[in-house]
Amino acid sequence: MITTVVIAVVALVGGLVVNWLLKKRRRLDTGEALTIRDLSSPMETLAVLLLAFVLVVAAESYSAAEEAVRVEANVVDNFFEVAEFAPQPAARTLQGATVCYARAVLAHEWPSLEDGGGGSSKPSTWSTQFRAVFKEIGADNGVFETLVQADRDRSDARSQRIAQATPAIPAVLYWFMVLSLAVMVVAFAFNLPARGKRAEVVGLVVLTTLVTLSLLLIRDVDRPFGGAIGISPEAMAHTEADIAEDFADAYGQNALPCDAEGNRRES
């Protein structure tokens, strides 16, 4: 973030300084075949198109991450409900592990995603237990296929959520865009009139500010679980509270095999 702002400020100040140093040498010459304005025009077009393209890519990635979060929360809730139809004690084990899975996602995996890291191994502890219980239930049981499919949907949604935490815009592309927009600002500053340019300078400062904010917005959106507009874990938190309450009503609060952060209790 700081680097982006510094580049924008340097581009603005540098362009204005060059404009001031060369203003005495600049002369209006309509017969000139090629001017600085002619050269800067395609650069400005390239910078704007690149900005629009990158913004769309970042927005699509953010939207996909939001959808994965919502789907995973719904699937976890559905898995808990379906597990109720399994024979005991498998039903109790599955439902308890489901609550612990949701807690582990909230307490361990979400902070990792916010910091730009990958997934945590804590939720996998409980999803591994799911599959162990499936083997105990056996494929002959009518609820087996439904449970396996629900677990597969959960796994897919989790994988998608973790994948979307990785920036969709390569660092090289982002910094190329920053450089292009910096050149655009310099070009605008260079083409300011030699005199009576106060309004133009104000306009250029406003333009530079908007461009810089756009870059920072793209940087933020491209990291959907961190930053000022990071995706909230509200959907999973709501699911965890709902299924934890149902489990406590059915088996008692102390029956859960984990603590409030999804860590396995000592036997």
**Angstrom distances, CA of residue 175 to CA of 3, 169, 256:** 10, 10, 49
57-110 pLDDT, tens digit per residue, is: 888 888 988 999 999 999 999 999 999 999 999 999 999 999 999 999 999 999
Provide the residue type at 169 as one letter: I
Q: What is the mean pLDDT of residues 10-27?
A: 56
Report CA 104 to chain centroid distance, whole Å.
Answer: 20
Residue 73, classified by CB atoms within 10 Å of its CB into exposed (0-12), middle (13-18) or buried (19+), is: buried
pLDDT at 210 over 70: yes
Q: What is the mean pLDDT of residues 174-183?
A: 81
pLDDT category of residue 130 using cuts at 50, 70 and 90: very high
Which of 72-76, 195-199, 240-244 has the weakest average pLDDT? 195-199
Q: How far apart are CA 267 and CA 265, in angstroms?
A: 6
30-54 pLDDT, tens digit per residue, is: 444 445 555 566 767 777 788 888 8
pLDDT of residue 197: 66
Q: What is the mean pLDDT of residues 197-213?
A: 80
pLDDT at 148 over 70: yes
Provide the residue type at 261 as one letter: E
pLDDT of residue 149: 93
Tokens of 153: 């949907």
Q: What is the mean pLDDT of residues 220-243?
A: 88
Q: How far apart are CA 247 and CA 241, in angstroms?
A: 10
pLDDT of residue 225: 86
- Give CA torsion, residues 227, 229, 230, 233, to 10 deg: 140
Q: pTM for the full model?
A: 0.77
Q: What is the mean pLDDT of residues 145-167?
A: 90
